[in-house]
Amino acid sequence: MATCVILAAGKGTRMLSPLPKVLHKLGGLSLVEHVVKAASAIDKSPILVVGHQADEVMGNIEGVRFATQSPQLGTGHAVMMALPQIPNNDEPVLVLFGDTPLIKASTLHKLVAQLGEGRPLAVLAFESEHPGRYGRVVAEKDIIHDIVEAKDATDNQLAIRLCNAGVMAGTGAMFHRFIPQISNHNAAKEYYLTDLVAMVRGEGLDVAYSLAGEEEVAGVNSQFDLSEREAAYQKQQRRTLMDQGVQMPHPETVFLSHDTKLPAGSLVEAHCVLAPGVKAHGPVTIRAFSHLEGAELSEGCVVGPYARLRPGTILGPKVRIGNFVETKKTKL
């Protein structure tokens, strides 16, 4: 059985927000809850490593086990804090980051599949047209020789487009053997998870990798980053609904939530917001400039234009809500 460790202890200084970075919302769900959702496909009770504003994070996340990192001394140190909860055997362990909300469960499964005899560690990588500050993955075929930080890379290494996404998979035994050996003998005096690559290679073992899309593994370090991830997420959600038969003439103006589901044959016009908790039991029509949240619609309902349905609204079959109407805790 696999174990997932999600790192969520950082301060998120560049967010310039009193809210912990991982609790910022994307599609109506916190960043870290998106990661927990993906990880839960592999580990029903992932380990969440918390630190900065730990009580607030712990009070908002369910379905996980917690480990505390205080002070925060790097990614390797974070995994050290989770080590007592990681089985010391050959079962896979995944290390993810709580600020990468677009990561997919299928990508995690592919990474785990890279582990095998003589390959106790695998790294998730991506190819970038503009690798910039990303760490470069020096590899031959499907085996990694080294991960080099951009600031330490040679000109030839800077030309490499294969980059480190940060996510790792390894056996529990590998983590128990090597994590305690990571040192902080560096300028930042931190313990780096990427040191595992050299340690494993030093034992004559291979480090594998698998590929993901750059957008999928992109993190959130600023409010601008958050807006970029939101835009990508919305595009995915819209495409999913349209592929399922929902008509959306102006999709770029429609904003959806993590739990938005609409039956085939539904129509969503321009400039609509479907906040969390919207349910539709059959095809419905949502006309332009309408805002729905926590509302339940029966087949044939027509909402708007310029309507607002607030939580607790329940509409029966073929109910029509006209323009500039607002409802709350109402059954029609």
User: pLDDT for 113-136, tens place per residue?
Assistant: 999 999 999 999 999 999 998 999
The yes-or-no verdict on residue 187 having pLDDT over 90 is no
Angle among Cα 37, 282, 328 to the nearest 5 degrees reads 75
* Distant-in-sequence, close-in-space partners of 237: CB < 8 Å, separation ≥ 6: 27, 256, 257, 258, 260
The yes-or-no verdict on residue 181 having pLDDT over 90 is yes
Domain ranges of the chain: 3-217, 245-327
Tokens of 309: 């349905």
Contact 53, 13 (CB under 8 A): no
The yes-or-no verdict on residue 142 having pLDDT over 90 is no
- Fold classification of 245-327 (topology level): UDP N-Acetylglucosamine Acyltransferase; domain 1 (2.160.10)
The yes-or-no verdict on residue 152 having pLDDT over 90 is no
Q: How far apart are CA 175 and CA 163, in angstroms?
A: 22
Q: How far apart are CA 2 and CA 229, in angstroms?
A: 28
Contact 217, 99 (CB under 8 A): no
Query: What is the pTM for the complete model shown?
Result: 0.94
Catalytic amino acids? 14
The yes-or-no verdict on residue 153 having pLDDT over 90 is no
Contact 245, 265 (CB under 8 A): yes
CATH of segment(s) 3-217? 3.90.550.10
Contact 70, 63 (CB under 8 A): no
Q: In 10 A of CB 106, how many CB atoms? A: 11
Q: How far apart are CA 180 and CA 190, in angstroms?
A: 13
The yes-or-no verdict on residue 151 having pLDDT over 90 is no
Confidence of residue 295 (pLDDT cuts 50, 70, 90): very high
Q: In 10 A of CB 232, how many CB atoms? A: 17
Tell me the average pLDDT across 46-65.
97
